[in-house]
Structure 1
Amino acid sequence: MPPTTTPTPTPTPTPTLTAFERSPDRGRGLARDMRVRWALEEVGQAYEVRLVSFAAMKQPAHLALHPFGQIPTYEEGGLALFESGAIILHIAEQHAGLLPADANARARAIAWMFAALNTVEPPIVERSMAFIFEQDKPWYAARQPMLEERVHTRLGELSKHLGDVGNADWLDGEFSAGDLLMVTVLRRLESSGLLDHYPTLSAYIARAVARPAYRRAFAAQLAVFTGSSAGG
């Protein structure tokens, strides 16, 4: 019999993500490429970053990757993705560490990913956009309490869930992509004072940002803003 040979595994191409050349968050780790950086750090996947200006984001080359002219985008071999949630789901499905092995737990973790982006984030973004763009409008003062109440409703519901799961640190068992996205959404409120009413959520965020993978991702994004070197 001829000797058997072990096939040589095909190397996984190093992914490339796009990020703001000069992030409007001024290095606070709030831009959506931070989510992807964090996911890649959690699974131990090396990556490269291509910085794009606001002008370049509206050019055909970038629009071919992201039809809405935003960041982040993600390229891996012949695959190109946009939308941070879709990118993180892809990473989590390709690597161990962000989704549980158990099928039911895995489905619940994915549900929390959708909850972070579709249920918790929209009222937070709506409030922040009103603060930025509508302060000089005659309706702003009357509308702001309603916007804040919507945020408080979601924060209260999320805080209750975390309280109901007892001594667990995370939304459903072990840390997952659901927690990663939820924490990046909640961090948008850190300077608002709204989280002061929810110590359970503040502690939840603190646990997440203390993770070594988060710290590495944050340092890499901050380095772009400060102009120092950073690796993926």
Structure 2
Amino acid sequence: MTIQLTAFRWVPAFAQGYVRDLRIRWALEEAGLPYSVVLIDPQTQASESYRQWQPFGQVPAYKDDAVEMFESGAIVLHLAGKSEALAPADEAGRARASTWVLAALNSIEPHVQNLVHLDVFHAGEAWTRERRPQAEAALKGRLASLAAWLGDKPYLEDRFTAGDLIMTTVLRELVDNGVLAQFPTLDAYRRRCEARPAFARALEGQMQPFRENVPA
């Protein structure tokens, strides 16, 4: 069976290019694994059949000959176990790649999302004037630690891995609000990872249905 993953048929402009099926597309493109995409809409999300695949009605959901999964981090780790393009073959190298996947999702992304939610979903609300400086300070503390680790290395370890893939998808959400530009090392790292041909193919794969399915 060809690998299948789900993605949205259309999302509003602010979310285009950021929906988390991008992570799976990118991983599959890096690994050179063929796949097909099942486009879903809100009705599909709410259906009992889809909830049996993805209990929360989100994307991406994934299946191949051996497994049926959801959650982007788990799927990328599964793919990293199938391809040396995403993680070294040795146990120590795989462990480090897995560690950075989880670090991106647990140590960086929650702080990124705190700030993004304030700016996107609660912009202009009075309570955000007090909360935003606190959220930004917490985020910058994590980014400073990440920048210190990265230093002048091209990647988080000695080569590109699934950890860099996930970390890049987290960091790129900080481009529009200007926070990432305050950490030139991390911004250059993000640009370097986004320059990979597999990322370009993955991004185009996500964007094409959005262009084709604009609501009337």
Task: Give me the CA root mean square deviation.
Answer: 1.6
Amino acid of the structure 2 residue aligned with 1:214: F
Greater share of residues in helix: 2
Residue 54 of structure 1 and its aligned partner are, at CA, apart by 2.1
1:184 counterpart residue number: 169
Distance in 2, Cα, partners of 1:26 & 1:52: 18
Task: Structure 1: give runs of 5+ residues left out of the alignment.
Answer: 1-12
Residue 208 of structure 1 and its aligned partner are, at CA, apart by 0.5
The counterpart of 1:207, out of the listed 184, 192, 195, is 192
Residue 132 of structure 1 and its aligned partner are, at CA, apart by 2.9
Structure 1 segments, 4+ long, off by >3 Å, are 24-28, 135-138
Residue 25 of structure 1 and its aligned partner are, at CA, apart by 4.7
Residue 100 of structure 1 and its aligned partner are, at CA, apart by 0.9
Deviations 1:14-69 (A, max 9, x none): 11100011123557421100000000000000110011112321211111111111
Superposed, which structure 2 residues align to 1:1-232 within 5 Å?
Answer: 13-25=1-13, 28-77=16-65, 79-163=67-151, 166=152, 168-227=153-212
1:9 counterpart residue number: none
Percent identity of paired positions between Structure 1 and Structure 2? 41
Distance in 1, Cα, partners of 2:23 & 2:154: 20
Question: Quick check: 19-28 or 197-206, which moved more?
Answer: 19-28
Distance in 2, Cα, partners of 1:84 & 1:24: 20
Deviations 1:152-205 (A, max 9, x none): 111111111111xx4x21001110000000000001111010011111011101
Instruction: Indicate if the aligned counterparts of 2:16 and 2:210 stay in contact, CA closer than 8 A.
Output: no
Distance in 1, Cα, partners of 2:72 & 2:87: 16
Instruction: Indicate if the aligned counterparts of 1:196 and 1:202 stay in contact, CA closer than 8 A.
Output: yes
Normalising by structure 1, we get a TM-score of 0.87
Normalising by structure 2, we get a TM-score of 0.93
Q: Give the number of aligned pairs.
A: 213
Instruction: Indicate if the aligned counterparts of 1:38 and 1:213 stay in contact, CA closer than 8 A.
Output: yes
1:6 counterpart residue number: none
Task: Structure 2: give runs of 5+ residues left out of the alignment.
Answer: none
